[in-house]
Amino acid sequence: MSDQTEVSVIDLRMSHNQVVADFSHAYSTSGFGYIIGHNIPGTVFAKVFEASKRFHALPMAQKMAVAVDANHRGYIPINTSTDVTSTLAKVTKPNQSASFMMMREDAVHDPSIYLSGPNQWPDLAGFRTALQSYNDAMTRLARHLLAIAFEAAGMTDPAAMQMFDTPTTWLRLLHYPPQPAQSADDLYGSAPHTDFGGLTLLAQDDVGGLQVQTPEGAWIDVPKIDGSLVVNVGDMLHRLSNGKLKSTPHRVINRSGRERYSCPFFFDPHVTAEIVPMTAEPAKFAPLTYGTFLRSQLEASYEAHQDATKA
């Protein structure tokens, strides 16, 4: 536990039982934790941030050449996503951020599998390799953390892990321009939301701006801790654990006057996964297919998917 912040620090170098106990505490209370001792060298993070900065600095035409497609891969310009499904705040203004999205690399789009397909790659030397290496490192770590999360929630059925055998993955390179100090209260870099899926592993720079909501409704800062990843639970893991693991609202407001970069990696179930609570107690949630939930969220929030449904 850290005394600088209310978000726990979990050190993976501790004993297995200690790590499981720390997970149990962090994810049944705040739903967020700083993970340290993960053994991923700093150079891996440096390379993905460097790739992100080079991409976002490209001329707009080069970024728009890989504009986000119907499979949610590519460049998402600023002012094209609004969290209208948010039940946490009345959100009317689009998010003040741009991003590049890499998802699972499939050889082709299979029309029977929502969001399957190959990635779109910009014409930028070394970019694809940097993202693929980072994606591989995050996938390995996420699978390890998920097994700990299941154990912490008392989920012993191997079927839970099988939903992630071919995961839905999203590596998002976010760029938040500075917001004016006097910008409207409801103008966000990322409006209050919970994440959709399993686990989110976030690398951020030292600019700050990420905030997490406490159970009492206050917003607390989650600044960078060197060498850490901020890890949180998404809505599907919340449901699978029958509510034991919390999917906690968070948001980003960048009033620092500086450019902010972050690289969240989302490790989610396959879109065909049937999400039903997998703990011993009576189920608190009705069954849900992950892909059906995802489609409704993306079509409501992203211009690119609204166009797709009109076409």
Ligand X SMILES: O=C(O)CCC(=O)C(=O)O
The yes or no reply on residue 201 touching ligand X (CB under 6 A) is: no
Q: Which one, of 209, 262, 197, 208, lies nearest residue 233 by Cα?
A: 197
Q: Select from 203, 210, 236, 294 the one that contacts ligand X (CB under 6 A).
A: 210
Q: Decide whether 46 or 159 has the Cβ nearer to ligand X.
A: 46
The yes or no reply on residue 102 touching ligand X (CB under 6 A) is: no
171: left (phi over 0), alpha (psi -120 to 50) or beta: beta
The yes or no reply on residue 22 touching ligand X (CB under 6 A) is: no
Quick one: CA dihedral 129, 44, 163, 71, positive or negative? negative
| Residues 244, 279 contacting (CB under 8 angstroms) | yes
Supply the minimum distance, in Å, between the C-beta of residue 146 and Fe ion: 17
Alpha-carbon 261 to chain mean position:
14
User: What are the DSSP calls for 266-288, one per residue?
Assistant: EEE--TT-EE---SSSPPSS--E
Q: Select from 68, 137, 138, 174 the one that contacts ligand X (CB under 6 A).
A: 174
| Contact residues: Fe ion, CB under 5 A | 195
The yes or no reply on residue 197 touching ligand X (CB under 6 A) is: no
Nearest-angstrom CA–CA distance, 101 and 198:
17
Q: Decide whether 212 or 278 has the Cβ nearer to Fe ion.
A: 212
The yes or no reply on residue 264 touching ligand X (CB under 6 A) is: yes
**Binding partner of 172, given ligand X, Fe ion, none, CB within 5-8 angstroms per partner class:** ligand X
The yes or no reply on residue 190 touching ligand X (CB under 6 A) is: yes
Binding site for ligand X (CB under 6 A): 172, 174, 190, 195, 202, 204, 210, 250, 252, 262, 264
